[in-house]
Structure 1
Amino acid sequence: MRSVNERLMDELIAHSLFSGRYSTGVARRMIKALNEFDAELTASLIVALDDASIDINSFTARRLESLLSSVRSINKRAVDGAFSLLTEEMRAHALYEAGYYPSLFDSLLPDVVLRKYPLMSITEEMLFSSVMSRPFQGKLLSEWADGLESDRMTRINNAVRNGYLNGDSAVEIGRKIRGHANQGYKDGVLQLSRANATTIAKTAISHLQATARDQFADANKDILDSKQWLSTLDNKTSHDCIIRDRLRYTLEGKPIGHKVPYLQGPGKIHFNCRSTETLVTKSWRELGIDLDEMDAGTRASMDGQVPADTNFLDWIQRQPEWRQRQVFGETRFRLMKEGGMNPSEFYTDKGEFISLEQLREIDKQAFREAGYS
């Protein structure tokens, strides 16, 4: 019988994996919202430049500011719309995350533990308010929105100024800003701003998920002993996360058996952080459970031990087939099962994303299929 802490680690790894795909989907929808204004922005820019009689020798920053007032207004609407979408997604996700951890622990912990230590929940409003009022990577979400809006206008201003100095036409300047259709508009000066928006969206979702985990752990200190950092180890893993992989910390973030500081914690330590952590429950003895209140198998499952080291390939190969299908998709699953391919030969998480509704159903299936509830 696998221990509660082992099963808990497996579920939190799965939740982190699919939550990462969810954040990719949120980022894509956010970029789509930004892109919907590109044609209007470029058209307004071209009209403004065509209508202006500009003397290169007297071309000033103030003149440029006045010239691009309509473009600035469109840019603000674009960024406001994109961040409004992100905020709505985060509010919906806060509602889900607030319920995820109580459901998970309720499905894993023995009844005798739940009777003695009823689970304490966190509220969506408390979680969402905390996420919106606490900075990530040094800024509040609202400040990241202001920064993106300013960054896009700076790039537009510079492109217009350089275009005039180079003798480009209004249409040519517009193309340099938006990009070319045959390049998927990825060659324009706004492309870096799209990449920045993607990073902000993914990091904001990670910030929310880490905050939910922290708040649940704080509310249920009576049953939890510590937490263990779990890094996604591949060629994109940061040095900060590599050195912290598998290290244990108290619930307050103090090192256990080492001196590596917790800093902001997994999911928050840097932009696009994919690390997570598993929560480690106390043993039945530490919980004050009498010997005769648990059978031998249940006592063994509540031994309080930290799960053994694992990596992605070890983890996926011990998962049931329904979860392997979720992770890989039907084609790659069959290549692994029937074609003899090793998961390391074809696994990539790039470009895959799921909706919040799909994430909710995936977690429900985990509880149902694994027989935890």
Structure 2
Amino acid sequence: WDAAVIEKSLPVKIALTTLSVPTIKEMVVNRPIDGRLVREWFEELGQAQAIKVNQQIMIGVAEGEGIDEMVRRIRGTAKNRYRDGILARSRREIESVVRTSVSGVVNNVRQATYRANADVVKAVQWVSTLDYRTCEVCAAYDGQVFGLHDGPRPPQHYGCRCTTVPVCKSWKELGFGFKEMPASERAAMNGRVADKVTYGQWLKGQGRQTQEVALGKRKAQLFRSGKLGVRDFVDDRGRILTLKELEALD
């Protein structure tokens, strides 16, 4: 798939280097994601779920609840479609672990594919989701271009939805006389926008409520003032600055 993305960006067909199945399998099994292997993510999830269930049973016993009440505490209630129990929360955690694991594996393979085709791909661009759920770190990275061997990569955190796209060499750099490709589009929560629109530019065009949900009330005020952009909310190491630090910048 990643090789196809590169091919789509080129005016002529070029033989690209693809990764072998054993190489991809090795990445899935042995390449850490946020410091842990995929199996460790799921092992920890199982342990955490067992601990939570045991905690609820102990609470139920201490409060003199019957079996049915303890089951409702763990499974949830029919009234709320079983969304209010421990297992419902565990399903959400499982979804987040799966999302993070898939993101990590896909991005590991993606980076290796880009590097294997360094004769065509010169850099990597960060792409964040344009909605109010994107964290400040990912919002700051959106649209930034990093070298093939440096800079941050997704996933940056548990449940990260970010990805990267290849920055291919220009036609001139590749030795072709073609005109540059016209700009394309990218998805946002309320429609499609030009692909060069960054998270900060997109957020600037949103209403006050969306800005405050995304950033918090005070940070949204600083953002609307025009004195600080979303990239100012994070330092060079990817640390989110405190309000006190931001107000000092302002």
Same fold (TM over 0.5): yes
Q: Are 2:131 and 1:131 equivalent residues in the alignment?
A: no
The 2-side partners of 1:318 and 1:250 are apart by 23
The alpha carbon displacement at 1:308 in A equals 9.2
Q: Are 2:8 and 1:102 equivalent residues in the alignment?
A: no
The alpha carbon displacement at 1:123 in A equals 2.1
Map 1:110-129 onto structure 2 (within 5 A): 110-111=11-12, 114=14, 118-129=15-26
Identity %: 28
Name the aligned partner's letter for residue 69 of structure 2: E
**Per-residue deviation, residues 60-118 of structure 1 (Å, max 9, x unmatched):** xxxxxxxxxxxxxxxxxxxxxxxxxxxxxxxxxxxxxxxx122333344233x72xxx2
Map 1:257-268 onto structure 2 (within 5 A): 262-263=151-152, 265-266=153-154, 268=155
| 3-state SS of paired residue (1:269) | coil
Is the Cα–Cα contact under 8 Å of residues 9 and 168 in structure 2 kept in the other structure? no
TM-score by length of 1: 0.47
Is the Cα–Cα contact under 8 Å of residues 187 and 193 in structure 2 kept in the other structure? no
180, 185, 192: which one aligns with 1:301: 180
Bigger Rg, which one: 1
Q: Are 2:15 and 1:140 equivalent residues in the alignment?
A: no
Is the Cα–Cα contact under 8 Å of residues 155 and 190 in structure 1 kept in the other structure? no
The 1-side partners of 2:92 and 2:189 are apart by 30
- Residue number in structure 2 paired with 1:55: none
Is the Cα–Cα contact under 8 Å of residues 185 and 192 in structure 2 kept in the other structure? no
- Residue number in structure 2 paired with 1:341: none
- Residue number in structure 2 paired with 1:316: 192
Is the Cα–Cα contact under 8 Å of residues 246 and 309 in structure 1 kept in the other structure? no
| 3-state SS of paired residue (2:167) | strand
Unaligned runs of 5+ in 1: 1-99, 254-261, 320-343, 345-373
The alpha carbon displacement at 1:315 in A equals 8.0
Unaligned runs of 5+ in 2: 196-205, 207-250
Name the aligned partner's letter for residue 276 of structure 1: T
Name the aligned partner's letter for residue 173 of structure 2: E
Map 1:159-308 onto structure 2 (within 5 A): 159-253=56-150, 262-263=151-152, 265-266=153-154, 268-287=155-174, 289=175, 294=176, 296=177, 298=178, 300-301=179-180
Structure with higher RCO (Cα < 8 A, 6+ apart):
1
Name the aligned partner's letter for residue 110 of structure 1: P
The alpha carbon displacement at 1:238 in A equals 0.8
The 2-side partners of 1:281 and 1:173 are apart by 58
| 3-state SS of paired residue (2:192) | helix
Deviates more, 1:148-157 or 1:123-132: 123-132
The 2-side partners of 1:168 and 1:314 are apart by 47
**Per-residue deviation, residues 156-190 of structure 1 (Å, max 9, x unmatched):** 21122111111111222122111222321122222
Structure ranking higher in strand proportion: 2
The 2-side partners of 1:122 and 1:284 are apart by 25
The alpha carbon displacement at 1:128 in A equals 2.8
**Per-residue deviation, residues 201-235 of structure 1 (Å, max 9, x unmatched):** 11111112212211110110111111221222321
Map 1:345-356 onto structure 2 (within 5 A): none
CA RMSD across the alignment: 3.0
1:171/1:215 CA distance change after superposition, 3 Å: same
- Residue number in structure 2 paired with 1:149: 46
Is the Cα–Cα contact under 8 Å of residues 228 and 277 in structure 1 kept in the other structure? yes
1:244/1:318 CA distance change after superposition, 3 Å: closer
1:310/1:162 CA distance change after superposition, 3 Å: closer
**Per-residue deviation, residues 217-275 of structure 1 (Å, max 9, x unmatched):** 0110111111221222321111111211221111112xxxxxxxx33x13x11122222
The 2-side partners of 1:225 and 1:154 are apart by 47
Name the aligned partner's letter for residue 203 of structure 1: T
Map 1:355-370 onto structure 2 (within 5 A): none
Is the Cα–Cα contact under 8 Å of residues 127 and 163 in structure 2 kept in the other structure? yes
TM-score by length of 2: 0.68
Number of equivalences: 197
